[in-house]
Amino acid sequence: MGSIRNKGRPLAAHQAPLCTRTHRIGSLLLVFATFFLTRLLERSFPSCPDLSRHHHVPTAQSHVVFTGGGSLFWPERGYGSHLSLKIYVYDEDEIDGLKSLMYGRDGTITTEACLKGQWGTQVKIHKLLLKSRYRTTKKEEADLFFVPAYAKCVRIMGGLNDKEIDQTYVKVISQMPHFRRSGGRDHIFVFPSGGGAHLFKSWATYINRSVILTPEGDRTDKKDTSSFNTWKDIIIPGNVDDRMTGTGATLVQPLPLSKRKYLANYLGRAQGKVGRLQLVELAKKFPEKLESPELKFSGPEKLGRIEYFEHLRNAKFCLAPRGESSWSLRYYESYFVECIPVILSDQIELPFQNAIDYTQISIKWPSTQIGPQLLDYLESIPDEHIEKMIAHGKHVRCLWVYAPESVSCSALHGIMWELQRKVRQFHQSAETFWLHNGSIVNRNLVEFSNWKPPLPLP
């Protein structure tokens, strides 16, 4: 398994020639002793600051074990050697407005409905966090705060309009003293669609310092600014149909390479986008190589899920051009039919870039080079190489699955590691002050425990 490993290791290998054998055995023993001791200490004194994070422990449990065997090493740099974080999840009854953001103004939008489709991540992440061992119910000890909202779904179902979403978010955060304390820096929001945080119109005023989980890196088609910030936000995988990602019976099984009819396919609507229109044209010229059927994604002839995946699996390469936004669910889906994704979206941001080498599992081709040269290039790639990429993709794809925390490799694990890097020991903002005796106060010298909602914003 070459695609993911602990980036700390090559360093250790360079140092190895300098060490004698006894040194090495000695240091290994030390490492194990440190590891077990810190574990023991953590258990006996759960309130102790976690000093083990500051030691360099090369063999520590920084890896997640793959379900299919083999190991996934998370790089240690900046992440610590193991997951140790506490997340407070706001309760829907605790903050006035959260329920509207989850079930609409009349409370009639069901969670089951919001769970489906490509935006289901906003529900799944919330549900998984509620059951997570990293959840805390004590705000005092929380490193991070999660604000649950299913606003994308609620909006689509007519449960709230844009203006209501905007006002409700503002109302919600004005009731959170902890948000005020940190200026939102330790608060997490999920925006599951291409629009990212733009779903909350005034995001730039209120939550521009918060950690935003989104599948999207940019949204430049309709908005001139991107709400995504590479350094504070986290890219999350899209929500692939559970029946394709489950370990049990799946909707559609992958085909052997030799049984696939097409070199490549593009399944999607053109939506008037240049790259997509070029693909549709290309498919007309080379119908035996590139499949791009006219698919109905709505209405009475709506393509069924099974049919969709049956098309998707019938090519060696699955083209994922940009649409309204740079992100495409197809990119993730293709891993589950073992089709190599070809990204035709220059601005794309991908999840877990600190851990995954995307050259081993996918291809990114310039969107300005969509034409016969793309097909010629794809045709030149030998099947053995394709098989190798598929094998790597099979190892990595567990990171796209919103599986329960008990599953050792999942999207949630990846997200947790990324969140751990965002943890600050101290929380402050332009409106937060502190005194000699540790009291946190506001501009009027009111102690934090007495900050009463509604709090001034931003």
Ligand X SMILES: *[C@@H]1O[C@H](CO)[C@@H](O)[C@H](O)[C@H]1NC(C)=O
| Pair 432, 181: CB distance under 8 Å | yes
Q: Quick one: which of 110, 205, 230, 271 contacts ligand X (CB under 6 A)?
A: 205
Q: Is residue 208 close enough to count as binding ligand X by CB under 6 A?
A: yes
In this complex, which beta carbon is closest to ligand X, that of residue 26 or of residue 454?
A: 454
- What span, in angstroms and rounded, lies between the C-alpha atoms of 155 and 164? 9
Of 20-28, 50-58, 201-209, 387-395, the segment contacting ligand X by CB under 6 A is: 201-209
Q: Quick one: which of 44, 406, 425, 437 contacts ligand X (CB under 6 A)?
A: 437
In this complex, which beta carbon is closest to ligand X, that of residue 8 or of residue 458?
A: 458
Query: Pattern of binders to ligand X over 154-193, x per CB under 6 A?
Result: ----------------------------------------
SS3 of residue 79 by DSSP: coil
**Minimum CB distance to ligand X, residue 27 (Å):** 45
Q: Is residue 458 close enough to count as binding ligand X by CB under 6 A?
A: yes
> What is the DSSP pairing of strand 63-65 with strand 71-73?
antiparallel
In this complex, which beta carbon is closest to ligand X, that of residue 203 or of residue 402?
A: 203
Give which of 237, 183, 227 is closest to 424, Cα–Cα. Answer: 183
Give which of 154, 136, 137 is closest to 190, Cα–Cα. Answer: 154
Of 48-56, 174-182, 184-192, 202-210, the segment contacting ligand X by CB under 6 A is: 202-210
**Minimum CB distance to ligand X, residue 457 (Å):** 9
* DSSP string across 159-213: SS-HHHHHHHHHHHHTT-HHHHHHTTTTEEEE--STTGGGGSTTHHHHSTTSEEE
**Minimum CB distance to ligand X, residue 326 (Å):** 21
> Judging by beta carbons within 10 Å of its beta carbon (0-12, 13-18, 19+), is residue 406 exposed, middle or buried?
exposed
In this complex, which beta carbon is closest to ligand X, that of residue 34 or of residue 167?
A: 167
In this complex, which beta carbon is closest to ligand X, that of residue 226 or of residue 334?
A: 226
Handedness of CA 252, 253, 258, 259 (dihedral sign): negative
Give which of 429, 425, 403 is closest to 84, Cα–Cα. Answer: 425
In this complex, which beta carbon is closest to ligand X, that of residue 29 or of residue 435?
A: 435
Q: Is residue 204 close enough to count as binding ligand X by CB under 6 A?
A: yes
Of 34-42, 162-170, 293-301, 432-440, the segment contacting ligand X by CB under 6 A is: 432-440
Q: Is residue 439 close enough to count as binding ligand X by CB under 6 A?
A: yes
# residues contacting ligand X (CB under 6 A): 7
In this complex, which beta carbon is closest to ligand X, that of residue 20 or of residue 437?
A: 437
Radius of gyration of the chain (CA): 24
- What span, in angstroms and rounded, lies between the C-alpha atoms of 436 and 443? 16
- What span, in angstroms and rounded, lies between the C-alpha atoms of 219 and 446? 41
Q: Is residue 354 close enough to count as binding ligand X by CB under 6 A?
A: no
Tokens of 235: 């890219």
Write the DSSP symbol of residue 61. S
Q: Quick one: which of 48, 130, 435, 446 contacts ligand X (CB under 6 A)?
A: 435
In this complex, which beta carbon is closest to ligand X, that of residue 58 or of residue 177?
A: 177
User: Can you give the binding site for ligand X, defined by CB under 6 A?
Assistant: 204-205, 208, 435, 437, 439, 458
